[in-house]
Chain A
């Protein structure tokens, strides 16, 4: 089976600044592939190029076997999109939102109307056909947006930060639904900057920074390959001074952020013994996770 999406050496500049600087990746059918990166890394621009909503300066894109942007409309017949910001139609109720959107795919009213109860059921909105949009919570709107993206029964689902702004309950429900879709054989491309989301959902992911892919692999591979196996976080007023004088003896890498010191190491025992003599410092020993990889590769400075 062909890759649902294949991107080769994609370039895109805005006003002389290269936002996407030559990235390549391909999705395997049935997998969830994540694009991770800080704000401004080029994730959303990459998605826009892949959907044919903006013309790249260079590179090749094949979306569900169609060249993009040349045949982007044909490709979008088999793609569902959940955008970063809700753009449901505030003038319509839930069912009308789905009906009107299905028409954009050239689907007949009868076909769409037959699908609406199942779509709402899937989104946890059963019986809400007539509910006006303003009566829905943020989580319900997100789920309706997901249902809308499924109205054409797409092969590939593209989600741009699907759980940003949602409470934990709502996020878990979205994750559960995305897993169901994967189990049903759909392919998912998602962008996120939530590491737990990426670790839970993505079979493979790419970490983007400054328009480039700086690492690619499964979450487990990235953690094993890019970073030491465990982390000791040390807190307290005296932590920065302790880091400067002692931490380097025990840890392979030490990073200080305010009054917190992150010590990356494979064998934590000697460092923990040292900390045992310093009651003024508090500490937390944990296995390294995707966030550690992310911060190592993209740095700690703020991106606005």
Chain B
């Protein structure tokens, strides 16, 4: 007889499924995820950075490196929880198959959530590895950043799963990118310090989860004390917790009515 306890870990089988698929294409997947942020980092870091004096007390490319880690973690979590999760839900009907087994809808969503955050961590981790090899941060600091990267992944994966639960088709994701992801990349301190923005925009930036991610990761990678650690971490954790509850509810409404 199986106990209820064994049911509590059933989300892990969903995570394992996605991991097994990823493992088949691991190297191209990591390299593919690495290429885009690296082009930004070196293109802007050296190209634009050459025109700039120091930013925030360091070279521009060093400043940009931390922002790149955050933005690309967000991107990886978002792509996985939108396009990949949507294919499994809507196109391949993988979730329907899983629900015929003794797995609850919440387990499926939680499995996808933790998986997307894991994949985001692999992506963010690869960038951390490269920038510490190139000397833009210290390896020990990069290691400390990993749990934060996972937390960032959890926040954006949960938000992505809400969008997926509401999406009629892939086209719907354009709205999310145009209205949220792109403004967030430009207004969260990834490319320049928030202080450069007019006061109203700075206030607005405080509402964007990516600002809080950057506020945590940049001082850490630069070896500075992290101001308001619990505030920024708390915001990301709250976004993750609230969003995943909403995502589970919306997915239930979509698939189990």
> From B13, which residue of chain A is reached at the shortest CB distance?
A103
* B17 with A89: CB separation less than 8 A: yes
Contact digits for B1-42, partner A, Cβ 8 Å, 1 yes 0 no: 010001101100110110011001000000000000000000
Stretch at the interface among B90-98, B119-127, B165-173: B90-98
A16 to B20: give the CA distance in the assembly, Å. 43
Stretch at the interface among A27-35, A72-80, A175-183, A221-229: A72-80
* A76 with B17: CB separation less than 8 A: no
Contact digits for A46-58, partner B, Cβ 8 Å, 1 yes 0 no: 0000010111000
* B93 with A87: CB separation less than 8 A: yes
B179 at the interface (CB under 8 A from A): no
A87 to B98: give the CA distance in the assembly, Å. 9
> Min CB distance, A253 to chain B, in Å?
41
A101 at the interface (CB under 8 A from B): yes
* B7 with A96: CB separation less than 8 A: no
Option from A87, A96, A106 in Cβ contact (under 8 Å) with B20: A96
Interface size of A by CB at 8 A reads 27
Q: Contacts A87-B92, A92-B20 known; A106 to B2 CB distance under 8 Å?
A: yes
Contact digits for A63-85, partner B, Cβ 8 Å, 1 yes 0 no: 00000000001101100010101
* B17 with A87: CB separation less than 8 A: no
A:123-181 near B, CB below 8 Å: 149, 152
Q: Contacts A87-B93, A89-B17, A92-B20 known; A104 to B256 CB distance under 8 Å?
A: no
Contact digits for B89-116, partner A, Cβ 8 Å, 1 yes 0 no: 0001110111111111000000000000
Contact digits for A1-38, partner B, Cβ 8 Å, 1 yes 0 no: 00000000000001000000000000000000000000
> From A85, which residue of chain B is reached at the shortest CB distance?
B93
A199 to B104: give the CA distance in the assembly, Å. 36
* A104 with B13: CB separation less than 8 A: yes
Q: Contacts A54-B256, A77-B2 known; A104 to B20 CB distance under 8 Å?
A: no
Option from A89, A96, A100, A106 in Cβ contact (under 8 Å) with B6: A106
* A90 with B20: CB separation less than 8 A: no
B257 at the interface (CB under 8 A from A): yes
> From A51, which residue of chain B is reached at the shortest CB distance?
B100
Q: Contacts A91-B24, A104-B10 known; A73 to B16 CB distance under 8 Å?
A: no
Where the two chains meet, the residues of B that have a C-beta atom closer than 8 Å to any C-beta of A are: 2, 6-7, 9-10, 13-14, 16-17, 20-21, 24, 92-94, 96-104, 256-257
With A77-B102, A89-B97 already in contact, 14 other A-B pairs whose C-beta atoms are closer than 8 Å: A51-B100, A74-B2, A83-B96, A83-B97, A83-B100, A100-B16, A101-B97, A103-B13, A103-B16, A104-B102, A106-B9, A106-B10, A106-B102, A149-B100
A-B contact pairs, 11 of them (CB 8 A): A76-B102, A87-B92, A89-B17, A91-B21, A92-B20, A92-B21, A100-B20, A104-B10, A104-B13, A105-B101, A105-B102
Where the two chains meet, the residues of A that have a C-beta atom closer than 8 Å to any C-beta of B are: 14, 51, 53-55, 73-74, 76-77, 81, 83, 85, 87-92, 96, 100-101, 103-106, 149, 152
